[in-house]
Amino acid sequence: MTKLSVLVSLAAVSLLSACGENQTTAEVVAEAPVINQDLAVYKAGAKELVSMIKTAKPDADIAQKSAELVASSKEIISQFIVKHPKCNEYLTALNNAADIIPTLPLEEIEAGYHEDGKLPKFDDPNCYHAKDLLVHPATVQAMASMGINSSEMRESAELEIIEVIAHFSQVEKALN
């Protein structure tokens, strides 16, 4: 893990603590204006997934919640492309690979999608933040499919989602 990802993770942990992690997804969505419901669903789902990983819920449940986040991210990415057309080629390629990513070996997900080896070049940093809304939960989905059977792997899965929560704030700013 890079120093940057550690710092991002620590910042996200602070955000989780400050945001009242005990609120349910339904409560958060009910409080959100209609236009921001997709964002509210995603954020609440990400927090719920962190909690599921921390409390060692069954791998099948973690995989299902991760798949829900991937599906939610596809909706957000579609809206993001409309607002940021520079990201169209990059994010469309990602959306097209969304169902395949969780089936790949972790090393291939890292090189191809975290590090952008399988995605077109882009020049807007907002594109990168939007991409991570899909790639991080897809990574956790892949991990859960293999079995999150060690404390190291559980910590890694948790950090994937904590990191995406930090990226989420950038996406939220770019959309509003």
Domain parsing of the chain, residue ranges: 3-175
- Inform me whether the pLDDT recorded for 55 exceeds 80: yes
Question: 50: Cβ–Cβ under 8 A, 6 or more apart, which residues?
Answer: 16, 21, 158, 161, 162, 165
* Whether 101 contacts 117, CB under 8 Å: no
- From 46, 45, 51, select the one nearest 26 (Cα to Cα): 45
Average model confidence (pLDDT) across the chain: 84
Region 132-148: what's the mean pLDDT? Answer: 97
For the segment 28-52, what is each residue's pLDDT rounded down to a tens digit? Answer: 444 444 337 899 999 999 999 999 9
Grade residue 24 by pLDDT with cuts at 50, 70 and 90. Answer: low
- What confidence score (pLDDT) does residue 36 get? 73
- Inform me whether the pLDDT recorded for 19 exceeds 70: no
- What confidence score (pLDDT) does residue 13 get? 42
- Inform me whether the pLDDT recorded for 4 exceeds 70: no
Region 129-146: what's the mean pLDDT? Answer: 97
- Inform me whether the pLDDT recorded for 137 exceeds 50: yes
Q: How many helices (H) and strands (E) does the chain have?
A: 8, 0
- What confidence score (pLDDT) does residue 128 get? 94
* Whether 117 contacts 78, CB under 8 Å: no
- What confidence score (pLDDT) does residue 106 get? 96
Tokens matching residue 18: 């400050």
